[in-house]
Amino acid sequence: MTLTSLSIKNIGHNWLRTILTVVGTAIAILSFVLIRTTLSAWEAGVDNAAQDRLSTIHRVTFVMPLPKRYFDEFNGARGRIDGVDVATFVNWVGHKHPVRETEFFATLAVDTATYFDVYPEMSVAPDRLAAWKENRQGAIIGEALAKQFGWSLGDEVTLLGTIYPGVWKYRIEGIYVATKKSVDRAQFLTHWSYLNDSLPEGQRDMIGWVASTVTDASRAADISAAIDTKFDDQDVQTRTMSEKALTMEFLGGASAILGALDIVSLVIMGIMMLILGNTIAMGVRERTHEYGVLLALGFRPKHIATFVVGEGLTIGLLGGGLGLLISYPLVEQGMGRWLEENMGAYFPYFSIPTSVAALALGMAVVLAGVAALVPAYSASKLDVITALRRIG
Amino acid sequence: MNEDTAAASAAQSRVGKKPDTSEPTVTAKRAPIIVCRKIVRSFWRAKERLDVLDELDLDIPEGSFEALMGPSGSGKTTLLNLIAGLDRPTAGTLTVAGTEVSAMGDAALAKWRSQTIGFVFQHFNLIPVLTALENVELPLLLTSLGSSERKKRAQIALRVVGLEDRMHHRPQQLSGGQEQRVGIARAIVHDPRIIVADEPTGELDRKSADDVLTLLERLNKEFDKTILMVTHDPAAAERATVVRKLDKGKLL
């Protein structure tokens, strides 16, 4: 036996209370991990955005369209911008499933010739890509979306238009898989030309934004400025930014919710600390006589304080460990997979980051230690004679 | 040589003393190990001063087994606490084992206590989450001894009190008498010169009480421990070599 093991053995004084406290701590850790993983998954698009990809949107807002001819000046028929490697364009279509209307997924009309050159992290079999390019009503969908709606190659799919009203019919020509975790695995990609040709004359030849890769990521800011300068004297001005900045702008509307979730996760840890502090304080009160005995035997107040803090750290470690033990199968195997398959547009990759697991365990231990400080201080101030007189 | 005697020999040889199995020496002829001079211990209740010990003088020779008796509130436990270094006198000087404990600071007093005094409590006061062996080992955690040496000494102490076969039992798995014997093993494991016992038989039946008193006698005679025992029990006091009576803070 050592002073450390004596400190750890102290958790055995009241097993029921210890177990309940450890389980309570574990549930708090589970909640913390869930919230933090949700935040992390939400922000994965930002964190994992390509450094060498730029997005050019309408200067006022990304909701407003750009003339399609702008794209032709990137590296197309009408010109070239220095530093741009490959460019493509995308138009938000906003279709929805005719029956399962509340199940959101991104429907994008894209330039079939260039889209997968700019987004190489979306991998699709060459023969399927070729088939898609050949069929104006063809669609390539993400693997998660295919699983969500039970779609497979060759299926005829009918979607309802929202931005572009009407009934839109497509044929699934390919299914892409993501090679990076930031990729939304639930996109529905269609031909921009099919959309464009279906629109009234006055609405044609407009696109949502231009996405381009640059030859040198360190020059991204200069190239962005050059792109915007190029269109400064035209009827529609542009705003070019990194993919990361654009993703942040998309998520901007949810920032209040994310901030609130962040605070809730901290509140949970605060409550956990108070519960731990109360439990440890109860134990200290009950063992006053025992501490009196230890003091009589020659143990110093610092030993008593160390025993109390050690007990807190042990409970925190056990609770944190158990919380992670519960979290991993629940998130990695259960909830996370379900979210990826059914809400892939919001959570393309829902997995516990190592940093979140480490933070949760660290906070459980540190907060338990902090929670034990006040009871430890009280215990260290005990008068040996008074403590020996106290029974129970 | 029986097993207990062998254990005793082993225990004693560690501290460089030979077990004294002869009749007890005449304690009056030995130098006092505890010297109290005009000891006063006062407490304040509201605004009233209460002198629990009133200019008490006391010499206790080394190697004696003394019983301290008296009615409740006579100051027995207060005196025991002072001698054991748990408390300090309000006035007077108290020298125990050559050290003036009345002048020591908290830290020094705690260290001195851990080296000089063995405690036997009325309620045994074993730590319930520890085994008998671990309870006995407790005082040794404050020494520089290694783990295996601590364990070995705790085993020897348990052998001395006849509980070698119960070393892995927890207190709740022991009888009251066995618990108190573990308490005595804990009191002697660090080889203190003085053992203070506060009502050591107060919680025990007659048979267990006799066993514990026999053990204390043995520690006194064979191991030359100075024992100071507070008791209300005349049968327990009879086992001591000297019985002192205290009333209203003064020795009678």
pLDDT digit string (tens) for A65-124?
A: 999 999 988 866 677 888 899 999 999 999 999 999 888 899 999 999 999 999 999 999
CA distances in angstroms from A136 to A170, A309, B65, listed in the order given: 9, 69, 108
Q: What is the C-alpha to C-alpha distance for residues B244 and B252, in angstroms, rounded to an integer? A: 7
Does residue A367 carry a pLDDT above 60? yes
Domains of chain B: 3-251 (3.40.50.300)
Identify the pLDDT of residue B73. Answer: 86
Sign of CA pseudo-dihedral A80, A84, A85, A88: negative
* Residues B110, A9: C-beta atoms closer than 8 Å: no
Does residue A143 carry a pLDDT above 70? yes
Say yes or no: A165 and A309 in one domain: no
Say yes or no: A92 and A229 in one domain: yes
Residues in chain B with CB shorter than 8 Å from the CB of A295 are 110
Does residue A161 carry a pLDDT above 90? yes
Q: What is the DSSP string of A204-230?
A: -SEESEEEEEES-GGGHHHHHHHHHHH
Q: Which residues of B181-196 are buried (b: 16+ CB within 10 A; e: fewer)?
A: bbbbbbbbbbbbbbbb
Q: Which residues of A235-246 are buried (b: 16+ CB within 10 A; e: fewer)?
A: eeebbbbbbbbb
Q: What is the C-alpha to C-alpha distance for residues B128 and B118, in angstroms, rounded to an integer? A: 20
- Looking up tokens 């029921």 gives A16
User: What would the two tokens of residue A383 be?
Assistant: 């008068």
Q: What is the C-alpha to C-alpha distance for residues B159 and B4, in angstroms, rounded to an integer? A: 7
CA distances in angstroms from B81 to A135, B131, B216, listed in the order given: 98, 27, 19
CA distance A390 to chain B (A): 12
DSSP state for residue A48 in the 8-state scheme: T
Does residue A247 carry a pLDDT above 90? no
pLDDT band at A391 (very low <50, low <70, confident <90, very high): low
Say yes or no: A367 and A282 in one domain: yes
* Residues A10, B129: C-beta atoms closer than 8 Å: yes
* Out of A37-51, A373-387, B128-142, B195-209, least confident range: A37-51
Identify the pLDDT of residue A45. Answer: 67
Q: What is the C-alpha to C-alpha distance for residues B45 and A337, in angstroms, rounded to an integer? A: 70
- Three-class SS string for chain B? CCHHHHHHHHHHHHCCCCCCCCCCCCHHHCCEEEEEEEEEEEEEECCEEEEEEEEEEEEEECCCEEEEECCCCCCHHHHHHHHCCCCCCCEEEEEECCEEHHHCCHHHHHHHHHHHEEEECCCCCCCCCCCHHHHHHHHHHHCCCCHHHHHHHHHHHHHHCCCHHHCCCCHHHCCHHHHHHHHHHHHHCCCCCEEEEECCCCCCCHHHHHHHHHHHHHHHHHHCCEEEEECCCHHHHHCCCEEEEEECCEEC
Residues in chain B with CB shorter than 8 Å from the CB of A388 are 86, 121
Q: Are A212 and A86 spatial neighbours (Cβ–Cβ below 8 Å)?
A: yes
**A316 within domain boundaries:** yes
SS3 A387: helix
A230 backbone φψ class: left, alpha, beta (φ>0; ψ -120 to 50): alpha
Q: What is the C-alpha to C-alpha distance for residues B207 and B24, in angstroms, rounded to an integer? A: 25
- Arithmetic mean of pLDDT over chain A: 90
Q: Are A210 and A88 spatial neighbours (Cβ–Cβ below 8 Å)?
A: yes
Name the nearest CA neighbour of B113 among A290, A297, A387: A297
Say yes or no: A139 and A276 in one domain: no
* Out of B8-17, B27-36, B60-69, B208-217, least confident range: B8-17
**A107 within domain boundaries:** yes
Identify the pLDDT of residue B30. Answer: 79
Identify the pLDDT of residue B246. Answer: 92
Say yes or no: A98 and A159 in one domain: yes
**A307 within domain boundaries:** yes
Say yes or no: A171 and A270 in one domain: no
Does residue A12 carry a pLDDT above 90? no
CA distance A353 to chain B (A): 38
Q: Which residues of A41-65 are buried (b: 16+ CB within 10 A; e: fewer)?
A: bbbbbbebbbebbbbbbbeeebeeb
pLDDT band at B29 (very low <50, low <70, confident <90, very high): low
CA distances in angstroms from A238 to A65, A91, B237, listed in the order given: 10, 16, 103
Identify the pLDDT of residue A377. Answer: 94
Terminal-to-terminal C-alpha distance of chain B: 43
- Looking up tokens 């529905």 gives A188
Amino acid code (one letter) for A223: I
Nearest to B142 among A290, A296, A298 (CB): A298
* Residues A294, B138: C-beta atoms closer than 8 Å: yes
* Residues B111, A297: C-beta atoms closer than 8 Å: no
- Looking up tokens 């803070």 gives B249
Does residue B205 carry a pLDDT above 50? yes
Identify the pLDDT of residue B178. Answer: 94
Residues in chain A with CB shorter than 8 Å from the CB of B134 are 1, 6, 9
pLDDT band at A1 (very low <50, low <70, confident <90, very high): confident
Q: What is the C-alpha to C-alpha distance for residues B251 and B247, in angstroms, rounded to an integer? A: 6
Helix (H) or strand (E) holding A148: helix A143-149
Say yes or no: A197 and A320 in one domain: no
For chain A, give the percent of residues with pLDDT over 70: 95
Residue of B nearest to A6 (CA): B130
Which has the higher per-residue pLDDT, A338 or A149?
Answer: A149
This prediction has a pTM of 0.72
The Cβ of residue B30 has, within 10 Å, a number of other Cβ atoms equal to 15
Residue of A nearest to B114 (CA): A298
Name the nearest CA neighbour of A110 among A71, A60, A63: A71
Q: What is the C-alpha to C-alpha distance for residues B61 and B220, in angstroms, rounded to an integer? A: 12
Say yes or no: A202 and A107 in one domain: yes
| pLDDT digit string, tens, across residues A310-340 | 999 999 999 999 999 999 999 888 888 888 7
Q: Are B177 and B207 spatial neighbours (Cβ–Cβ below 8 Å)?
A: yes
Nearest to A297 among B129, B134, B139 (CB): B139
Q: What is the DSSP string of A59-121?
A: SS-TTS-EEHHHHHHHHETTEE-TTEEEEEEEEE---B-SS-TTS---EEEE-TTTHHHH-TT
Q: What is the C-alpha to C-alpha distance for residues B120 and B188, in angstroms, rounded to an integer? A: 10
Identify the pLDDT of residue A42. Answer: 79
pLDDT band at A351 (very low <50, low <70, confident <90, very high): confident
**A242 within domain boundaries:** no
Nearest to A385 among B86, B115, B138 (CB): B86
**A26 within domain boundaries:** yes
Q: Are B188 and B137 spatial neighbours (Cβ–Cβ below 8 Å)?
A: no
| Residues of A at the B interface, defined by Cβ within 8 angstroms | 1-3, 6, 9-10, 12-13, 289-290, 293-300, 384-385, 388, 391
**A104 within domain boundaries:** yes
HSE value, Cβ hemisphere, 13 Å, CA-based, for A46: 14
Identify the pLDDT of residue A352. Answer: 93
Which residues are within 8 A (CB) of A19 and not within 5 positions of it... i.e. 6 or more apart?
Answer: none
Identify the pLDDT of residue B28. Answer: 47
Does residue B79 carry a pLDDT above 80? yes
**A112 within domain boundaries:** yes
pLDDT band at A345 (very low <50, low <70, confident <90, very high): low
**A77 within domain boundaries:** yes
Does residue A43 carry a pLDDT above 80? no
* Residues A1, B113: C-beta atoms closer than 8 Å: no
Say yes or no: A338 and A300 in one domain: yes
CA distance B241 to chain A (A): 26
Q: What is the C-alpha to C-alpha distance for residues B76 and B229, in angstroms, rounded to an integer? A: 9
Q: Are A379 and A299 spatial neighbours (Cβ–Cβ below 8 Å)?
A: no
Amino acid code (one letter) for A239: R
Q: Are A114 and A193 spatial neighbours (Cβ–Cβ below 8 Å)?
A: no
Interface TM-score (ipTM) > 0.95: no
User: Of A210, A236, A262, which residue constitutes the final position of a domain?
Assistant: A236
The Cβ of residue B126 has, within 10 Å, a number of other Cβ atoms equal to 25
Say yes or no: A268 and A175 in one domain: no
* Residues B141, A13: C-beta atoms closer than 8 Å: no
Say yes or no: A208 and A315 in one domain: no
Name the nearest CA neighbour of B190 among B215, B233, B163, B223: B223
User: Of A183, A205, A236, which residue constitutes the final position of a domain?
Assistant: A236
* Residues B139, A293: C-beta atoms closer than 8 Å: no
Say yes or no: A216 and A76 in one domain: yes
* Residues B142, A295: C-beta atoms closer than 8 Å: no
CA distance B183 to chain A (A): 11
* Residues B125, A293: C-beta atoms closer than 8 Å: yes
| pLDDT digit string, tens, across residues A201-239 | 888 999 999 999 998 888 989 999 999 999 999 989 999
Nearest to A300 among B110, B127, B138 (CB): B110
Residue of B nearest to A291 (CA): B127
* Residues B114, A385: C-beta atoms closer than 8 Å: no
DSSP state for residue A289 in the 8-state scheme: H
Q: What total number of domains does chain A contain?
A: 2
User: Of A236, A268, A286, which residue constitutes the final position of a domain?
Assistant: A236
B38 backbone φψ class: left, alpha, beta (φ>0; ψ -120 to 50): left
Domain residues for A380?
3-45+254-389
Best B83, B125, B168 residue to mutate vs chain A (most A CBs within 10 Å) = B125
* Residues A289, B125: C-beta atoms closer than 8 Å: yes
Nearest to A3 among B113, B141, B186 (CB): B141
Identify the pLDDT of residue B8. Answer: 42
Terminal-to-terminal C-alpha distance of chain A: 25
